[in-house]
């Protein structure tokens, strides 16, 4: 079988040269994660803006819940086609499309004077970040050598956290309209800088653009590097994928891809149902409901997000994906339980001072735990596990499912909190416990392996 021949070839290769860390690789990654920064801003914008928007535009809780969640509907829509779009026009062109959507969306929010334009702007933000959530991790995985692919891929999460932190921090000082205008800057920056980075080598190989493939690898690996061996491996992998099947929805559900599909969908479902999106979107309200000053609380969250993301980015290729995911899930399980317990004790009028301490410690611990693993690593793994012949369909399906699960949590969270604040976080704690079991039993370690090695091993396990 062709896939067995490829695996044998990959696993029995003689000692190979490790591609070096280059300025071209750093520049390309820095440019594309500007989209991730915009994604983070869009995710958390609704938290600091909530009280002022509701007051100035006269919105109800239901109105604001829809405004917050409509972005996920937009994200889900473009996520369904993100793989096809990026395959048709390329990774760079897809990012340009996302930038146009994001810039329009932020401008519409900034100049909105009624709920209609506000929701239209938020919807277009969803269109933009829906494309970003697929194409950025895929592009980074496709341009980065295995020796530091994890760290570079995690820069996607780092910039998301930076965007979230910026919203939490600056939201205490800027009007919500000014905040929206500032948030459009990263997309405008990316529009210009995309002209200076190469297209993904694997995308070029898919379309038989051999000369452009080698030019792209030269820019990424350095002008003096020998890229012929890597170029040949990329061409061989793409060719074998073509021979085994044509890309399509039926190929995605082929038995050989079952393991990868379960991992991708499972991680996205559990990531969202642990409640992470709700904390990003409604952090200020969570603090207010617990009687803790929201400006202080969100500032604390803003301060802790960046250092822990940097630590993970620098260590993920040393420690591996599975250990970080396990630590992350265990921490979220414990911290969600303590948040729920603090709400429960507060409701019963017991240990009021202790409740405030438990809440802030629980939230800080939750955000830190989420950031070191479950925040960014599902996207890293998603970009690694699917072979080229189903990556378009699989990536779109997994990304769309993430947005769908995100919408469920964000839209329902306000109503869940009204039902029972403590019960909501006890549920999140239970989901985190399920996540621990899922990772332990099903998620493989991908550290230090090429994309081709990962994908052929998963096909054999299915």
C-alpha angle 293-296-297 in degrees, rounded to nearest 5 = 80
Low-confidence ranges of the chain (pLDDT < 50): 1-17
8 Å CB contact between 454 and 320: no
Q: From residue 257, how far is each of 214, 253, 331, 358, 391 by CA, in Å?
A: 30, 6, 31, 44, 10
Q: What is the pLDDT of residue 41?
A: 92
Residues 6 or more apart whose CB falls under 8 angstroms from that of 47 comprise: 167, 168, 171, 280, 281, 282, 283, 284, 285, 298
Residues 6 or more apart whose CB falls under 8 angstroms from that of 246 comprise: 389
DSSP code, position 450: -
The C-alpha atoms of residue 43 and residue 162 are separated, in whole angstroms, by 11
Q: What is the pLDDT of residue 79?
A: 83
The C-alpha atoms of residue 93 and residue 86 are separated, in whole angstroms, by 7
Q: What is the pLDDT of residue 106?
A: 97
Q: What is the pLDDT of residue 122?
A: 95
Residues 6 or more apart whose CB falls under 8 angstroms from that of 337 comprise: 425, 426, 429
The C-alpha atoms of residue 387 and residue 236 are separated, in whole angstroms, by 12
DSSP code, position 445: P
The C-alpha atoms of residue 440 and residue 259 are separated, in whole angstroms, by 14
Token readout for 332 is 């979220």
Q: What is the pLDDT of residue 102?
A: 97
8 Å CB contact between 447 and 321: yes
Q: What is the pLDDT of residue 344?
A: 87
String of DSSP letters for 126-148: HHHHHHHHHHHHHHHHHHS-GGG
Q: What is the pLDDT of residue 101?
A: 97
For the chain, state the CA radius of gyration.
Answer: 22
The C-alpha atoms of residue 206 and residue 343 are separated, in whole angstroms, by 54
C-alpha angle 73-77-79 in degrees, rounded to nearest 5 = 110
8 Å CB contact between 234 and 200: no
Domains assigned to the chain: 23-197+245-461 (1.20.1250.20)
The C-alpha atoms of residue 4 and residue 444 are separated, in whole angstroms, by 19
Q: What is the pLDDT of residue 370?
A: 87
Q: What is the pLDDT of residue 10?
A: 40
Query: How far does CA 31 lie from the centroid of its chain?
Result: 16
DSSP helix, strand, coil percent of the chain (3-state; round to 5): 85, 0, 15
- How many Å from the N-terminal Cα to the C-terminal Cα in the chain? 15
Element (H, E) at 290: none
Q: What is the pLDDT of residue 258?
A: 76
Biggest CA pair distance of the chain: 71
The C-alpha atoms of residue 254 and residue 250 are separated, in whole angstroms, by 7
Q: What is the pLDDT of residue 445?
A: 81
8 Å CB contact between 42 and 183: yes
8 Å CB contact between 256 and 462: yes
Convert the pLDDT of each residue in 210-254 to its tens digit.
888 888 988 888 877 778 888 888 888 777 766 655 555 666 666
| Alpha-helical segments (H) within 245-387 | 249-252, 258-273, 276-289, 294-319, 321-347, 352-371, 377-385
* Residue with tokens 């993970």, as numbered in its chain: 312
Residues 6 or more apart whose CB falls under 8 angstroms from that of 413 comprise: 65, 275, 278, 281, 282, 424
């Amino acid at each position: 079988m062709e896939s067995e021949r490829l695996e044998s070839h990959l696993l029995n290769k003689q000692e190979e040269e490790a591609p070096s860390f280059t300025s071209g690789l750093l520049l390309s990654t820095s440019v594309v994660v500007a989209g991730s920064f915009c994604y983070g801003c869009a995710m958390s914008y609704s938290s600091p803006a909530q009280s002022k928007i509701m007051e100035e535009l006269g919105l109800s809780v239901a109105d604001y819940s829809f405004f917050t969640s409509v972005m996920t509907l937009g994200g889900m829509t473009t996520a369904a086609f993100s793989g096809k779009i990026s395959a048709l026009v390329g990774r760079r062109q897809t990012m340009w499309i996302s930038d146009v959507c994001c810039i329009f969306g932020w401008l519409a929010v900034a100049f909105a004077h009624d709920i209609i334009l506000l929701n239209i702007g938020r919807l277009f933000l969803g269109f933009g970040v829906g494309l970003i959530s697929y194409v950025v991790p895929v592009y980074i995985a496709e341009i980065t050598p295995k020796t530091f692919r994890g760290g570079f891929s995690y820069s996607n999460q780092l910039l998301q956290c930076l965007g979230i932190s910026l919203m939490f921090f600056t939201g205490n000082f800027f009007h919500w309209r000014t905040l929206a205008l500032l948030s459009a800057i990263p997309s405008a920056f990316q529009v210009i800088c995309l002209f200076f980075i190469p297209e993904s080598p694997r995308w070029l190989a898919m379309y038989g653009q051999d000369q452009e493939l080698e030019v792209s690898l030269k820019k990424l690996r350095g002008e003096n590097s020998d890229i012929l061996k890597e170029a040949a491996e990329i061409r061989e992998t793409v060719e074998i994928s073509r021979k085994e099947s044509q890309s399509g929805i039926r190929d995605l559900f082929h038995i050989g891809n079952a393991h990868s599909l379960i991992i991708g969908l499972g991680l996205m479902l559990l990531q969202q149902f642990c409640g992470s999106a709700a904390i990003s979107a409604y952090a200020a309200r969570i603090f207010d409901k617990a009687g803790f000053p929201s400006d202080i609380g969100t500032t604390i969250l803003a301060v802790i997000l960046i250092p822990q993301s940097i630590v993970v980015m620098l260590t993920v290729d040393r420690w591996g994906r599975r250990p970080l995911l396990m630590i992350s899930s265990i921490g979220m399980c414990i911290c969600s339980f303590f948040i729920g317990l603090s709400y429960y004790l507060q409701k019963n009028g017991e240990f009021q001072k202790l409740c405030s301490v438990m809440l802030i410690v629980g939230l800080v611990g939750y955000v830190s735990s989420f950031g070191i693993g479950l925040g960014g690593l599902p996207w890293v793994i998603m970009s690694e596990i699917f072979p080229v012949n189903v990556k378009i369909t699989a990536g779109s399906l997994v990304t769309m499912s993430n947005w769908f699960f995100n919408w469920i949590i964000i839209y329902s969270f306000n109503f869940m909190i009204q039902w029972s604040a403590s019960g909501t976080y006890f549920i999140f704690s239970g989901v985190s416990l399920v996540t621990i079991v899922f990772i332990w039993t099903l998620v493989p370690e991908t550290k230090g392996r090429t994309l081709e090695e990962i994908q052929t091993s998963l096909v054999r396990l299915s």
